[in-house]
């Protein structure tokens, strides 16, 4: 596994939800001169996705090379074929990740765009209208989806470009020599750490050398935390090591707060509830966000460590799917993201420890059954590597 390697001198802008993200993304696409790579889990059939699609088509008409990767599961088979035809007629290259599970049970859950090797976008936002549920039901949300992305310029961009370009090339059916070279790390630019602002690092999870990189980045941050750790995730079902990391940080006096999305999937909520008692006893504060769909995968530890990305705190993100986060060491950025998370906490509902001391037996049975089912499925999918 490659260690986290920071580059300095980056400029990073935090983008909150679609109202900030999509105008910035489309503006960058419209200004593109040479090349665009876009990789996303969901590319929806709605007005927001159409606006991004039209921007990509305008770029292609300017003779910009446009390469788009969409995930087969996230985007859906029918929409994947529709996009392929629409992009083909517009002279946009399009590749579908893992159609019919030919690469095993894995998805690209990453959300990345790189424009002219100069500007990169990365985070949790799919190409979808954030006023509607992203589970295929098209259910209107009471408020825009709570999510984050970042816009990056600076020396980290070539590293992100190399990652998405490598994904594109691998999907094109490259030979075993290329795959071996990538495994050995020769296709990943190495960066030197620096004390100059803004320091940032790309942290990916794949099924080659980076199987535990995102998890270990979180564990290191929790293990060295001195004052506080604020973590937000829509799905909470981590393995034993991360749960232990949260509990140990809280026991040594760190103010650990989990902001968890609830209400989208009943079984997912039950699995998360099964972990609440031990975490609450250790002193972890748990807040459930119910205002709208929480989709952000963000965290702030102490005053200068922050991360934004695509990785949930669940078995699929941590052990199966391909993910991408950026870790940022910068006080001003951490403070800005902290303010957003703290606002989300104020809008949420705190879970009281007393509520889980005498949980009705029927609820305990449901939580336990859901947890057992989830763990069993993850052990199969992750080939026995789901850590308890």
By C-alpha distance, which of 94, 90, 89 is closest to 43? 94
Mark whether 304 is an active-site residue: no
- Residue 2 is predicted with a pLDDT of 55
- Residue 285 is predicted with a pLDDT of 98
- Rounded to whole angstroms, the Cα distance separating 269 from 235 reads 8
Which regions in the chain score pLDDT beneath 70? 1-3, 173-196, 383-388
- Residue 384 is predicted with a pLDDT of 59
- Residue in 16, 273, 297, 340 annotated catalytic: 297
- Residue in 94, 109, 182, 273 annotated catalytic: 109
**Is the separation of the CB atoms in 259 and 350 below 8 Å?**
no
- Residue 54 is predicted with a pLDDT of 98
- Give residue 157's region: left, alpha or beta (phi > 0; psi -120 to 50): alpha
By C-alpha distance, which of 330, 325, 328, 335 is closest to 296? 325
Q: Where in the chain is the domain with CATH 3.30.870.10?
A: 11-183, 202-381
Q: Decide: helix, strand or coil at residue 286.
A: strand
**Is the separation of the CB atoms in 114 and 161 below 8 Å?**
yes
- Rounded to whole angstroms, the Cα distance separating 231 from 218 reads 10
Alpha helices in 200-358 (DSSP H): 213-224, 240-251, 266-282, 315, 331-347
Mark whether 111 is an active-site residue: yes
Alpha helices in 90-212 (DSSP H): 156-171, 176-184
Mark whether 50 is an active-site residue: no
Mark whether 109 is an active-site residue: yes
- Residue in 94, 273, 295, 340 annotated catalytic: 295
- Residue in 30, 116, 303, 304 annotated catalytic: 116
- Residue in 30, 45, 302, 304 annotated catalytic: 302
- Residue 191 is predicted with a pLDDT of 43
Q: What is the CATH number of domain 202-381?
A: 3.30.870.10
Architecture of domain 11-183: 2-Layer Sandwich (3.30)
Alpha helices in the chain (DSSP H): 17-30, 47-61, 72-75, 77-89, 156-171, 176-184, 213-224, 240-251, 266-282, 315, 331-347, 361-381
């Amino acid at each position: 596994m490659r260690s986290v390697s920071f580059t300095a001198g980056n400029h990073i802008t935090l983008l909150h939800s679609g109202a900030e993200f999509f105008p910035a993304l489309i503006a960058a696409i419209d200004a593109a001169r040479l090349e665009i790579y876009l990789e996303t889990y969901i590319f929806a059939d709605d007005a927001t996705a159409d606006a991004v699609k039209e921007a990509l088509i305008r770029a292609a008409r300017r003779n910009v090379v446009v390469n788009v990767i969409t995930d087969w599961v996230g985007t859906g088979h029918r929409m994947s074929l529709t996009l392929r035809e629409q992009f083909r007629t517009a002279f946009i290259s399009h590749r579908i990740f893992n159609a019919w599970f030919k690469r095993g049970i894995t998805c690209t859950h990453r959300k990345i765009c790189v424009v002219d090797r100069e500007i990169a976008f990365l985070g949790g936002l799919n190409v979808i209208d954030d006023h509607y549920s992203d589970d295929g039901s098209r259910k209107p949300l009471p408020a825009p989806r709570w999510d984050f992305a970042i816009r990056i310029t600076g020396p980290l961009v070539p590293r992100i470009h190399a990652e998405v370009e490598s994904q594109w090339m691998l999907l094109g059916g490259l030979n075993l020599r290329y795959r071996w070279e990538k495994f050995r790390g020769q296709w990943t630019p190495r960066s030197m750490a620096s004390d100059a602002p803004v320091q940032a690092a790309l942290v990916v999870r794949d099924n080659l050398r980076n199987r535990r990189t995102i998890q270990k980045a979180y564990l290191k941050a929790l293990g060295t935390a001195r004052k506080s750790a604020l973590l937000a995730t829509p799905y909470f079902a981590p393995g034993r090591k991360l749960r232990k990391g949260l509990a140990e940080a809280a026991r040594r006096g760190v103010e650990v707060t989990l902001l968890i999305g609830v209400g989208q999937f009943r079984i997912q909520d039950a699995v998360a509830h099964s972990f609440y008692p031990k975490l609450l006893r250790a002193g972890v504060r748990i807040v459930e966000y119910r205002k709208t769909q929480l989709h952000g995968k963000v965290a702030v530890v102490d005053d200068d460590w922050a991360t934004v990305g695509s990785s949930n705190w669940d078995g699929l993100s941590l052990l199966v799917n391909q993910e991408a986060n950026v870790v940022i060491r910068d006080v001003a950025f951490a403070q800005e993201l902290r303010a957003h998370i703290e606002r989300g906490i104020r809008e949420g509902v705190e879970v009281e420890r007393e509520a889980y001391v005498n949980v009705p037996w029927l609820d305990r049975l449901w939580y336990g059954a859901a947890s057992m089912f989830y763990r069993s499925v993850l052990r199969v999918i992750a080939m026995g590597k789901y850590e308890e």
